[in-house]
Amino acid sequence: MSHPYSDISELAQAGNSFGVIRIPTEQDVPFTRRVRAIVDTAEFQRLRQVTQLALASHVYPGATHTRFEHALGVYHNALRYLWQLGSDAKFAAIVSRHDAEVLIVAALLHDIGHWPFCHPIEDMELPQMPPHEVFAKEFLRPDGELTKVLESQWNVSAAEVLDVLVAKSNSPSNRLRRSILSGPIDIDKMDYLARDSQHCGVPYGRHFDRNRLINSLIVNEAGDGLAITSKGRTAAEMMVFARYVMFTEVYWHHAVRSATTMFARSFLELMPKLDLSSLFRMSEPELIRCLCTTASGSDVASLTDGLFGQRRRLHKRLAEYSIYHREPLYRALRLLTATQLAGCSSGLTQRLGAVVGRKLLPMDVLIDAPPQHREVEFRVDVWFRSSKEYRPLREVSPIVDAMAKTQFDDCVKKVRIFVSPEIRDLIPASLSVDELVLDALKNP
């Protein structure tokens, strides 16, 4: 039986030694004329100037890879997923050839709405901030170059792509394609875990069998999402564990979080002076220049200079709270909004100043708390051929069940108090920081 998507040029070309673009690590990504047409647009080329991990390069110098590279990797994964799932009659009955092409385009464009330092800004959950998926429509305007390429080269409308990126309609095909793009074992995670790991120089995100996992993909019983066969269970477990270790060792490394918190507080303070619509269209170097210029002469300059100046000057960790250490303080601080955290930081600054016997600067003390949304999704079913039944992965996997029960996010994301390097050296080791934090919470 022929493959239902074999006449899609990007799939037909997969595996050939011509018409490819090479990305790390040793990936030959099919590069057809119509893919090139998308990549060559100004909207897509902008992603060359948006780094994938923002401020992580302050700790991992190799982490300077871009959303451009990542988008090509996600597109490559989409082809691999489609080739595997096309052999599932249920999938082919739900996802038409045209739907498959829309998914390929959506994979290429899944981060088109990303602006520089997008995640640190989004994580503050400020009411005036659009999610980057929603902001994608700003780059898919009816008169835009990218939209014209989609229509002329792909016979795909911008509205179709946006519907996959940000749910509007609820057809079985859309639900199924969204689970491929954003779900427990999606094409996005499949790329960034390995790519981030590679560029950071750590092994953690590469220690799961991607080929085994992709080859086990099937459609779930309801026909609205992905499932895996029992052969892929161990690979899925290792992918969950890879995310856990990447969060603990990279994404929520204490020094990475120091830089991230310094940036977030800078943005919060400078935001009233910024034209956000213009800012979100800037390249990363342009946005940095804008922030530094706006901060010049203000209290915020100490933060922007420490991040983007000629000398790296990150705040130092003073205290740390989690579900395992001073849990009530952890829970209380985690509930605060970005604005409330800034207020609590100011109160703590005054109290620490009294302890060390000098007036501290407004940005000398910062509090970093995790965002309210959760990062990890465990809901994926495993198909057991022998018993002809689907069972939830967490039900058949001790490691996934343990992580789900202990609340993954609470384990890897901690609340931290950071202080400027000069102040850290003045604070006596005997000081009970916890009592000062509690007082700042009770008496803002």
Confidence of residue 59 (pLDDT cuts 50, 70, 90): very high
* Confidence label for 14 from pLDDT (cuts 50, 70 and 90): low
Q: What count of other Cβ atoms lies within 10 Å of the Cβ of residue 126?
A: 15
Listed residue (253, 255, 421, 435) closest to 354, CA to CA:
435
Contact indicator for 208, 239 with CB cutoff of 8 Å: yes
Coil vs helix vs strand at 369: coil
Q: What is the pLDDT of residue 133?
A: 74
Task: Inform me whether the pLDDT recorded for 378 exceeds 80.
Answer: no
Q: Report the C-alpha gap between 306 and 308 in whole angstroms.
A: 6
User: Following DSSP, what letter does each residue of 396-430 receive, concatenated?
Assistant: H-HHHHHHHHTTHHHHH--EEEEE-HHHHTTS-TT
82 pLDDT above the threshold of 90 = yes
Per-residue model confidence as pLDDT tens digits over 40-57:
999 999 999 999 999 999
Strands 226-229 and 217-219: antiparallel
d(CA 14, CA 9): 9
Residue 298 has pLDDT above 60, yes or no: yes
Dihedral-angle region of residue 321 (phi above 0 means left; psi in -120 to 50 means alpha; beta otherwise)? beta
Q: Is 70 exceeded by the pLDDT of residue 405? A: no
Which residue would you say has higher pLDDT here, 295 or 280?
Answer: 295
Of 409, 387, 427, which Cα lies nearest the Cα of 323?
Answer: 409
Q: H or E stretch including 159? A: helix 158-165
Q: What is the pLDDT of residue 123?
A: 92
Cα–Cα distance, 416 to 418 (Å, whole number): 6
Annotate 41-110 with DSSP letters as a single string.
SHHHHGGGGSBSSGGGGGTSTT---BHHHHHHHHHHHHHHHHHHHTTSHHHHHHS-HHHHHHHHHHHHTT
3-state secondary structure of 390: strand
Average pLDDT, whole number, for the chain? 92
Q: How many percent of the chain have pLDDT more than 90?
A: 79
| Stated pTM of the model | 0.94
Q: Pairing state of beta strands 381-384 and 226-229?
A: parallel
Nearest-angstrom CA–CA distance, 421 and 136: 39
DSSP state of 322: B
The pLDDT, as a whole number, for residue 167 is 81
Task: Say what the pLDDT of residue 412 is.
Answer: 86
162-197: pLDDT as tens digits: 999 988 888 999 999 999 999 889 999 999 999 999
- Count of other CB atoms within 10 angstroms of residue 406: 11
pLDDT greater at residue 18 or residue 324: 324
Instruction: Beginning with the edge strand found earlier in the chain, give each strand of the sheet holding 381-384 in spatial order.
Output: 217-219, 226-229, 381-384, 389-392
User: Nearest 5°: phi and psi at 382?
Assistant: -115, 130
Q: What is the pLDDT of residue 407?
A: 73
Q: Find, among 361, 346, 315, 360, the residue nearest to 436 by Cα.
A: 346
Q: Are the C-beta atoms of residues 116 and 287 closer than 8 Å to each other? A: yes
Mean pLDDT check: name the lowest of 106-120, 258-272, 395-409.
Answer: 395-409
Share above pLDDT 70 across residues of the chain, in percent, rounded to a whole number: 97
Res 9 pLDDT > 60: yes
Provide φ and ψ at 289, rounded to 5°: -60, -40
Residue 347 has pLDDT above 90, yes or no: yes
Beta bridge partners of 416: 320, 368
Confidence of residue 375 (pLDDT cuts 50, 70, 90): low
The sign one gets for the Cα dihedral 263, 265, 268, 272 is: negative
- Diameter of the chain by CA atoms? 80
Correct CATH for 9-251+378-392 of 3.90.1150.10, 1.10.3210.10, 3.40.50.1000, 3.30.590.10: 1.10.3210.10
User: Is residue 13 scored above 70 in pLDDT?
Assistant: no
The one-character DSSP state at 184 is T
Cα–Cα–Cα angle for 343, 346, 352, rounded to 5 degrees: 145
Place of tokens 């970005």: 338
Residue spans of the domains in the chain: they are: 9-251+378-392, 254-372+413-442
Mean of the pLDDT values across residues 322-345? 94
User: Which residue type does 104 have?
Assistant: I
d(CA 145, CA 167): 24
Number of residues that this document lists for the chain:
444
